[in-house]
Structure 1
């Protein structure tokens, strides 16, 4: 803007200088012409007066008489008077000796006068050494020209006057330029400053500094422009605030949605994804935004449905399987994006991960099937032996007693199964309240081993208790912890061969305690380790039923440990034994 101010100042000063210069030249020329016109008229009158006085032959031919007559008519010496005959010979000159002067026949004013006209000429005088104006008139009698009277006057005074005038003009021009520079600079500053202020605010607005305002209070057109700029800035600030708020709300919603959202443009490129999509696809958002959906999604089925929505502009819902980065089942909603003109400009895809739902549905179905299967076995046995007894087997006392014992055992097994199912349901729904208290870990383990002593003794199993030192106390629910240990011991006794060993170890640090139950039993195949905590899951189904197990013990243990904010893991080698590790917080 400084360049514009300098340009404006120089332009105005240039115009002022040009106007002053042109006017000065014009008035100087007018003044010079006026001086020359006056001098010309003066010399013409002087010459004509003298020509009238010397036009007589007796006067013109006699130099003495001629000189007297001229002095009578023009006694002053301000005007140079020269009388020349028609041959150019100087007869008289009041400034020089006529005898010493050269012939004037070739002078332009002389030629004009000899032709009967008034000759006027300006030139440098070799005789006097400065510019002179010459006016020559013919001396004639009876229409016969026999000589010329020439009046001349120095141009020095006029030239000096013209020079002084030019000096005054240039001095005035310089003073005018100095004063004008100050005035024009102030004027240009007053004009440019509002423009600079408006430009500053406009530039700030382009840099998103919407709080900037033009500080101008003028009432003219610039003031109106400043007011319009301020109103625009205020309006933009409000609109950008609303846009920012809407963007933050939208970003907050998209970020915190558990469902994935993808926006795909009409060019089939991904323009927006939320964090849930990144998790589902296993790729960071900045790596897939801008790519073709078929390239970024890595799912042919999903891409096929996106293309269908783009081509047909129809809204639909579909279940899609993806296999990268892991297998998932997605419930996907496809909807075309319609702009304000009613044109389809893309597709909005919403993905719901229903893998867990499908897995739970499968588990529920399997659970129902397992429960039905498990219940059917004891019920079938009870029904079969009851029918046998009713058909006459009661007459044989020993057979009757054996059948009734089997019915009693199957009933007990059925009761335990139903009890475990109910307990597991309560534990999963967290309907069993926790009664926290200080528990001495070694005493609790000793109590649990004592309960299982008879079962272990029947199989001649050796159970090694943990070291009594140091004492380990923890804040937990005593009944839940006892049930965990009992179930693990029951499982170890059931799957350890006769004469085997079971060891229980405990360790503690500043935050957690670790309980390990190790046996030398049949072990668990490595491929089965991930499923042993499932309900009714058995590695050796025939042996499990023979042992009287319900298939729910480890599932109950897992949920009890989780309720106590702990963690359970298992390590096993087939044929070499199994180790269950339970980690619980001390408080």
Structure 2
């Protein structure tokens, strides 16, 4: 029986859809290498940890030793930084270094070398910027491990401050080579590796026996599962092996008993799904690949004035006589990804719909149609229209008094009889009236752009992109020149897109203005236009303060500011990016931001290609 079990083919699995060739490995050959790998990883981890701790121990011992030697030298020297006999001091330091096999250096407070046991002091550089000296000059014990250009090897340095009459006079530095420690640790690494390999080889047979013990009950379980697949549900599996395999056998036996209950439950769930679809306020339309209706819920039938039962199997063109929706369904059928679009139904009453198209797939993953979800946004559009009209009317009515206030304030400022205090308050009034006027202008622009985008009154034509970007750059050039910022433009001359030139130019100007305001002086702003994956991309990049992830999701909202104080100081209204967003939406495009604090920001506009 074992021979037959081992020799039977393992490359084919009988399935309802036909034979499927699958490259499989036996469970024992999956468990056995895993055990060996775990053992090797544990050995490597233990070796790495042990060697790291050993290195840290030796380095700490060397550090303590150098500190003790430095303190001993400090007590042996008699006013070394005030000594007038330089030659005697050099001989003394050299003798101490030879006796202790330590490099000893005396360094004045200004960083110049007073004496060194291995080099003439006058030939050595100023040491004030050495890391251990910087710490010692700050009144602390300094230490570092680095390469010595004087001795040509890796050294560990320890420096301690020296005080004379409670005043810092200089530094005593001791050093020892760490190359011997590194060589010893390298040898230990190889010894640990060899020991790990020996342990892995000794444990390999035990791993094999354990793997075989775990896989054998599962092989018996597989034979029983194949009987169930052939329809033999009367012969239950034997409950043998470990607790886990026993539970698996019990579960598979219970599976045969639960089969009828699952079928009944599936029918009930289908009925519940029908009831849920019937109660949804969103319209649901399911269409197959031949554009015939598969399912139509009650909300969709009411929306289009048809009967849900009579529509099934009928062409969508006969059921729903709306050209925009038919075109949306055709586009959704021709692409594998979900699709969204705003639709307008032109009937006795204009209705605004938000359509979402999701591909429908069969049991084998093949596309069988598309599911259309329709959200009626007519009421929301009406409320948005009321809001836009209100904002536009209020903004327009505010322009006249603001203009009068600015004129009166300018007249008073020009009056020479006004004193300094009055003139200062008049300047504040004039500045705030300028800010209020800019806010009103932005509100009017935003309302105009929203109105045009909703009603589709902005004509989009294939136009070259380079002149639009160049005009935006020239408009912002004077603002950039005030802080010495350069605007670099790169765009192919033949690049075209479906755009409204003046509207898109305003959006690019807003992005450039933001980039200039939040960039460091004498930096640069990059403006690029290029083609990518069937779209036209406009990118504005700065190297300023950047924006954290917490703010990026709300960056294009009206009046949202990352830094309120800085935005007001720079004169922003909080509507610039909101205008950019609505301009891009009017072009059927998308806008995104990629930024991190301290790394600058990149704003990207994606437009359909002309």
TM-score in terms of structure 1 length:
0.35
CA radius of gyration, larger in = 1
